[in-house]
Amino acid sequence: MTKPQPVADHGPRPLDRRSPLPLWAQLFDDLRRRVAAGEFTEEFPAEHRLTGEYEVSRHTVREALRKLRADGLVIAERGRASRLDTRRIQQPLGSLYSLYRDLEGQGVEQRSEVLRLERTADGTIAGHLGLPPEAPLIVLERLRLADGEPLAHDTAYLPAEIAEPLLATDFGHTSLYGELSRRCGVQVTGGRERIQPFLPDIRQAWLLGLADREAAFAIERLGRAGARPVEWRETVVRGDRFAFVAEWADGTGAVALSPASSPASPTRPSV
């Protein structure tokens, strides 16, 4: 008896005509698998090629492609062949990361427009950092650009007693964590984040190039050096250019749900 040959990671897999799952949904799943395996980096296959590879109708192919476009994996423009959306940036969850370092690591050119770098005071932010309400803070507000296009509106607050040397820094093409370590001798070692969907205000939508009522991600981060809070950050990220990725295994902790009556406040009038 001939043993079945293992199916390679690359290339199309046969669709199951007896499955209750529609053919277009099976095709969508298989195309996602092939994208994740590294196929289509040069070009994405045209409709006629997919109909032949999977032996399905053009209607089935179009339904699968429509879902790929809706999920932001494929770009389709009039008069041009479909292609992968390489503009989307992936960010891991559950780990300490630097947006600057991770963008550079993904081959994305990044720079920042510094909107504000100064001393300030804010009782609520000071409370997040475990400081008295009147404690002086350093605020760094930036528009983060990836390959020249707006990606995130980012505002970080740090205790002035440790972050005063940052006022002399040009943050156009450097990381906050790197400069905090070099100039202040402070290493951010951990923290926590809260991420939720968010409708940007008029100023943020204008800065990020978003249409009216276009949703984004709001991120609140508390960064710590050891046990001490040293950073409170509020970030609004374009949802069409950013994806959060989580890896999990058996035994990982449960997700904590916050009460719907007490949502986060990712933006503030002073930002």
Domain architecture of the chain: domains with CATH: 23-84 (1.10.10.10), 89-245 (3.40.1410.10)
Asked if pLDDT for residue 233 goes beyond 90, the answer is yes
Q: For residue 266, what pLDDT is reported?
A: 45
The angle formed by the CA atoms of residues 163, 169 and 173, to the nearest 5 degrees, is: 120
Of 85 and 123, the one with more pLDDT:
123
Position 6 confidence tier, pLDDT thresholds 50, 70, 90:
very low
Asked if pLDDT for residue 124 goes beyond 60, the answer is yes
Written as six digits, the tokens of 206 are 């204008």
Which pTM was predicted? 0.61
pLDDT, tens digit, 9 for 90 and up, residues 58-106: 999 989 888 887 766 776 555 566 666 555 555 555 554 556 555 555 5
Distance from C-alpha of 125 to C-alpha of 159, rounded to nearest angstrom = 10
pLDDT, tens digit, 9 for 90 and up, residues 10-67: 689 999 999 999 999 999 889 888 877 778 776 788 888 999 999 999 999 989 888 8
The residues, ordered by sequence, that sit 6+ positions from 162 with a Cβ below 8 Å of its Cβ are 184, 186, 230
Q: For residue 145, what pLDDT is reported?
A: 87
To the nearest whole percent, how much of the chain has pLDDT over 90? 44
Mean pLDDT along residues 212-240: 91
To the nearest whole percent, how much of the chain has pLDDT over 70? 71
Of 191 and 147, the one with more pLDDT:
191
Distance from C-alpha of 199 to C-alpha of 218, rounded to nearest angstrom = 9
